[in-house]
Amino acid sequence: MSEPVDLSPVRFAELVAPAVSRTFVAGMRAGGTEGRDLVTSYGGASVGYLIDLRNPLAAGRRLTPADLAAVYRYRNPDEVRATVRGGVADGLLAEGPDGAVAAGDRGQEFLRDLFALHGRVLTERWRPQSWPVDRLNQVLTRVLAAAEETAGAAWAVQAPPYEPADAPPGVLLLNRLSTLRYHRADAHAAAWQAAGLTAAEMVAMPWGTDWSPQRRAVEQATNQRAAAPFAVLTAEERLTLLADLAALP
């Protein structure tokens, strides 16, 4: 008789993280050449920031320097400020006297085009998997609500996901997965900070099969911190969530 699979919240947090990332990245890349052409047509290094921050910026939220530092905690602060200044110069971002930024006129136009593109390509890409997409959206609504209880600074910037009334299911799923990833990102940051490490030290650590004992301990602590939202699901629901993510191309 085979041993039962461990789907406790902590173990599940470890298992689901790569599945969430795979599905999210695949969804973001679904635009292919059309997506790359869209980015090129707007130009400017800060287009990437608009994509990263599309949930709060499309919702009209203003982001403070502290907000940007939380999202881009692994990047050089001077480079982040320079990219923001470039976005303001290009009209993609608008900066207030307090240093907070919002989407500028061109930035809002870009975001409308980006969401329209996502809507078209994801509706087509995931049409054969409409039921798993709908079920994932239902489950993630509960998980995201639970995640608010243990969220950190980057989550506070990215949540809630942008969900206009006319958003198709594929866009809802993409944005919910995007937001969920920041809960784990905050858990990871809390884990390495508790271990007395810096962002630069974490970036320098090997990733993958060459983990050091210190890195492995940080990842285990991350799973423990990232587990809380999944406690709202039954073991069967956790297994179904993994299966539904795996079903998407």
Convert the pLDDT of each residue in 76-120 to its tens digit. 999 999 999 999 999 999 999 999 999 999 999 999 999 999 999
Tens digits of residue pLDDT in 147-172: 999 999 999 999 999 999 999 999 99
- pLDDT > 50? residue 1: no
Mean pLDDT of 64-70: 97
Average pLDDT over residues 66-77: 96
pLDDT of 5 reads 74
**pLDDT tens, position by position, 187-213:** 999 999 999 999 999 998 887 767 788
The residues spanned by each domain of the chain are 9-247
Q: Report which of 249, 221, 53, 19 is spatially closest to residue 139, judged by C-alpha positions.
A: 19
